[in-house]
Amino acid sequence: MSLTEQLKAVADEMSSKIPAEAQVVMEAAINDLKNSNLLDKALKTGGTLPSISLPNAKGETISLQSKLEAGKKLVIAFYRGGWCPYCNVELQALQKILPEIEAKGAELIAITPESPDNSLSTTEKNELTFEVLTDKDNKLAYSLNLAYQLPEELDKIYKDFGLDLEASQGNKDRTLPIAATYVVDASGKVTYHFLKEDYKLRADTSEILSAL
């Protein structure tokens, strides 16, 4: 199955398990996010990636600019956290196409608001061999107009499901990044973007490879 098909399967399975009233709140939050026009000013194709340095799962600072200067293209995927089933499916799919990404002269980078300890757990759980960087307090995501605050009602539902953003991120902000994927050429120019307010949707791996 393609990544898009896998995500649809997960969504169908989750829909059969999540109470109807909770699903109403979730869909309302997605619609509110769409109506907020948050993505109007987000980084898109044709824009230039800013200088980015973030810690990886081992606490090492990784400079994306240095990778571009070395002639690498970049595939950058923002994900919510290892607690998100859609994120795990996406990360596993990206891992599968990693050899093809690298064969095209690119490097894969995932960015998450999870603390390094939590991102390390996610990396190990999904057997990831690419860099996973921590965007503490979603500062980078905010600067790119990709971050939003989770409604209190939805945050409560997440906690009822055992999903604790405070434990994941180490703050009480209730903020998350939009599902976003970028392809950036060696000059730092964005040549492909995928931005969706609906967290159940992600850039299909076939599109990413075509963009490279």
CA torsion through residues 63, 68, 72, 76, sign: positive
Counting other chains too, the contacts that 22-27 makes at CB distance below 8 Å and 24 or more residues apart are: 22/157, 25/151, 25/153, 25/154, 25/157, 26/154, 26/157
Range of the domain at 174: 3-211
Tally of domains in the chain: 1
All residues at 6 or more sequence positions from 130 whose CB lies less than 8 Å from its CB, including other chains: 94, 95, 98, 107, 108, 109, 110
Cα 137-8-100 angle, rounded to 5 deg:
75
**pLDDT one digit per residue (tens) for the chain, 212 residues:** 999 999 999 999 999 999 999 999 999 999 999 999 999 999 999 999 999 999 998 889 999 999 999 999 999 999 999 999 999 999 999 999 999 999 999 999 999 999 988 887 888 888 999 999 999 999 999 999 999 999 999 999 999 999 999 999 999 999 999 999 999 999 999 999 999 999 999 999 999 999 99
Cβ(3)–Cβ(90) below 8 Å: yes
Q: Please give the Cα distance from 165 to 83 (Å, whole number).
A: 9
Q: At 105, which CATH number?
A: 3.40.30.10
CB crowding 156-176: b at 16 or more within 10 Å, else e: ebbeeeeeebeebbbeeebbb
Contact 198, 192 (CB under 8 A): no
Residue 116: what pLDDT? 86
pTM: 0.95
Q: For 70, what's the count of Cα atoms within 13 Å in the CB-facing half-sphere? A: 10
DSSP code per residue over 84-106: -HHHHHHHHHHHHTHHHHHHTTE
